[in-house]
A and B are shown apart, each in its own frame.
Chain A
Amino acid sequence: MDVMFSQEDLAFRDEVRAFFSAEFDPALAKERQGGQGANYKSAIVKWQKKLHAKGWIAPGWPTEYGGTGWSVTQKFIFETERGAAGIPDVVPFGLKMVAPVIYTFGNEEQKAKFLPRILSSEDWWCQGYSEPGAGSDLAALNTTADYAGENYIVNGRKIWTTLAQYADWIFCLVRTSKEVRKQQGISFLLIDMKSPGITVKPIVTIDGKHSLNEVLFEDVEVPVENLIGEQDKGWTYAKALLAHERTGMADVADSKRSFAALKARASDEVNGGVAMIEDPVFQMRLSDIEMELMALEYTELRVYASMAAGGMPGPESSLLKIKGTEIVQAIQELQLQLAAYYGSALPAASEHDVLGHEYAAEARSSYMYGRAATIYGGSNEVQRNVIAKMVLGV
């Protein structure tokens, strides 16, 4: 039983640390926290291009397409150092979601056309899965793609499409056959967002910001060469992608960092002259979270250790998403509790700010937007269904 890293791995960690501290501009983290300001996209792309230039943009990819060739442990170290340094993860839709589908199930032309532009952040992707009538029951989707010679004609509505307002491309699950069981008859299409007939409508969320969208398709022509794999087999490809996504969703390093920030604020905030961090009730709330996080850190290490040993992640991996997001939300909840009255003000809407408590507005908006963490990526209720079936066998 040990958590030691080898000398090589420790040297690698130092290299990653040195690169991050030299190259990462903290202004980007602020840009991402602050919502979609004028520089939002350019700041992200600028950082991703730096990672690309270093050759570190796609650790998960096979080396032949531009992956790093790192060991499981090195990937783990990279992720941990990123979170610990407060560096936001790359925008996942291109690099972590569609690219694995393209390099696994796509043809040579598709790989050559799309992968290099994803690597270099030339193209911004978004994900067209959910629909008004297809959320947790994703296979109920009914955006249609009718085969018409050289094109598919796409009609329908996609919803909750994150950052679609910046996207050059969208990958969609569409229905190509209604004759069969609902999981069959679904195809995986890549669609140019500049295609005539596509409309992106903003959805303002409860944090007052705009990151979600509705994407409407009206007789959109999509060339048949944009079909991934075989027609009607898209569900299989999407499921394979979900398995790819499952690990690395615990965000332990990120949560450790935000917990440290929470402690620092609890030390600054006073009530009756006593720092909140000295308050016994608040201390219990802090340690309820911190102890779960200490456990989750080792749960994540257990998953990585079994993968590093060449095994498959065990049943413990299935709880990473549920526990990880619960902890993220619990930290946000205490941030907002610390912000008290000051967190209810909406300074961004006027030129006046509350006195002190600079973090309060951010505490409010991240709490509000953070509610999404247990909804997206398969709601935590769906995750529990999966564990019940796959692990408990009920």
Chain B
Amino acid sequence: MNFEYSEEQTMIKDSVERFVREEYGFDVRRQIIASDDGYSREYWAKFAELGWLSIPFAEQYGGYGGSVDDVAAIMEALGKGNVVEPFVPTVLMFGGLLAHSGNEALMSAYIPRIIAGKCLGAFAYLERQSRFEMTDIATTARSEKDKLIINGEKTVVLNATNADSLVVAVRTGGEQFDRRGISLIVVDTDTPGVEVTGYAMMDGQRAANIKFVDVAVAKDCLLGALDEGMDVVDKMVPEALLALCAQAQGIMETLNETTVNYTKTRNQFGVPISSFQVLQHRMVDNFMAAEQARSMLYRGLCAFGSGSVETEYERSRSLHALKAVVAKSSKLIGEEAIQIHGGMGMTDELDVGHFVKRLMTINTMFGDGDYHQKAFNRLSYQSAS
């Protein structure tokens, strides 16, 4: 039994933390999110150079061959700096889908370029009506000779304005909501008929609406089997969720630390406000919420890594419970951080609100807390009779 990051993982984590401390101050981040690109090309090249972009990929494509634990170690540290560079959309979502597709040609074509920092990616799945139901897809692709012709609209596609390539989830069969009949297609964003309209998200990320008008791509751009794209999605999502929860962990602990330190220096009624028991007990509750979230994270990492022997059923329960617990803990910690910072917590110039907005965005990723709790309930509670 062991719940420590390994020596190698600690080294990776330390190197990301050092980068955050020395080069990714709050002012630097503000400049980055205010820039046209919304991320730093220079830093992205640096991430590639330091090998961070290679962590989850197989060695045959130049990857590090890392585990979910390795990715978690990086993500926690990226969370501490509220790093806005598109690691999740590019490496974990776009890259994750490729890596789980089994499509050798596409993997060889794209993964080495992702690792080298030469290809930014995005996953276009969400539509205006679909909310958290990933199978609710109306965008279509019809077959014409050796081509697939895509028509439809996607929205809130993270990193789409900067992406060189997308994975698009389309309906090739079945009815709306059917799991079967969804296919994944790799589309370069400069393909004719792809129209990207960008905007910023509240956490500083860039996203876009994408319109597909008779976009023709070769059939060998299909990722996974025709109509069976959800099989690939189902492998990517748990890994992305674990990583996002690790990032949230880094943020929650940073917020708690910041808040406790603030109360020690803020004087009212002639004493530091940290001496008030009403605040002490609330900060203890925030501390406990972060520790419980960390325990769930470890439970998830054990279940999806090589750390335990879990049935598929228990793995799914652990994942849903993790996302739901992180949602609760991060809501509590975020709201309390603002409240205890008082008027300062309301200001844009303090980093607290920016961390909170990242937590809120993470909460919506692949289903919010209630969505996952309901999924947990469906798995767990059925009448015995």
Q: A residues bordering B, Cβ < 8 Å?
A: 1-5, 73, 263-264, 266-268, 275, 277-278, 280, 283-284, 286-287, 290-292, 294-299, 301-302, 304-306, 308-309, 315-316, 319, 322-323, 381, 384-385, 387-388, 391-394
Contacts and interface: CB of A to CB of B under 8 A. Distances in A.
Contact of A275 (B69, B279, B305, B383): B383
Contact of A287 (B4, B309, B376, B385): B376
B64 to A, nearest CB: 17
Contact of B305 (A1, A298, A299, A322): A1
A20 B285 CA distance: 37
23 contacts: A2-B307, A4-B308, A268-B384, A275-B383, A277-B382, A278-B383, A286-B380, A287-B324, A287-B377, A291-B373, A294-B321, A295-B296, A297-B299, A302-B295, A315-B287, A315-B291, A323-B292, A381-B281, A387-B288, A392-B280, A393-B260, A393-B264, A394-B275
Contacts of B274: 394
A129 B324 CA distance: 42
Contacts of B2: 1-2, 305, 309
Nearest to B73: A1
A322 B292 CA distance: 12
Contact of A298 (B69, B281, B296): B296
B373 A284 contact: yes
B280 A388 contact: yes
Residue with the greatest number of chain B CB neighbours at <10 A, chosen from A296, A299, A393: A299
A295 B296 CA distance: 5
Contacts of B292: 292, 295-296, 299, 319, 323
Contacts of A284: 373, 377
B301 interface: yes
B158 interface: no
A280 B373 CA distance: 11
Q: Is the interface of B mostly helix, strand, loop or mixed?
A: helix
A298 to B, nearest CB: 4
A320 B285 CA distance: 13
Nearest to A276: B383
Nearest to A279: B381
B1 A3 contact: yes
Interface residues of B, number: 50
B325 interface: yes
B307 A1 contact: yes
A294 B264 CA distance: 34
Interface string B75-116: 000000000000000000000000000000000000000000
Contacts of B305: 1-2
Interface in B260-288: 260, 263-264, 274-275, 277, 279-281, 283-285, 287-288
A267 B285 CA distance: 33
A388 B383 contact: no
A296 to B, nearest CB: 7
A252 to B, nearest CB: 11
A275 B296 CA distance: 29
Given A267-B383, A294-B318, A394-B274, A5 B1 contact: yes
Given A294-B321, A304-B1, A392-B280, A278 B306 contact: no
Contacts of B291: 299, 315-316, 319
Contacts of B373: 284, 287, 291
Residue with the greatest number of chain B CB neighbours at <10 A, chosen from A294, A387, A393: A294
A381 B280 CA distance: 10
Contacts, number: 151
Residue with the greatest number of chain B CB neighbours at <10 A, chosen from A264, A290, A297: A290
B280 A1 contact: no
A277 B264 CA distance: 47
A394 B385 contact: no
A384 B279 CA distance: 11
Residue with the greatest number of chain A CB neighbours at <10 A, chosen from B3, B69, B280, B301: B3
Residue with the greatest number of chain B CB neighbours at <10 A, chosen from A1, A291, A292, A381: A1
B293 interface: yes
B159 to A, nearest CB: 29
Interface in B136-152: none
B302 interface: yes
Contact of A1 (B275, B296, B301): B301
Interface string B296-332: 1011011001111100000001100100110000000
Contacts of A266: 381
B299 A294 contact: yes
B302 A1 contact: yes
A394 B283 contact: yes
A253 to B, nearest CB: 16
A171 B161 CA distance: 72
B384 A267 contact: yes
Given A294-B317, A319-B288, A322-B288, 8 more contacts: A3-B308, A275-B385, A278-B383, A287-B373, A384-B281, A394-B260, A394-B263, A394-B264
A4 B1 CA distance: 5
Contact of B287 (A1, A2, A290, A387): A387
A268 to B, nearest CB: 8
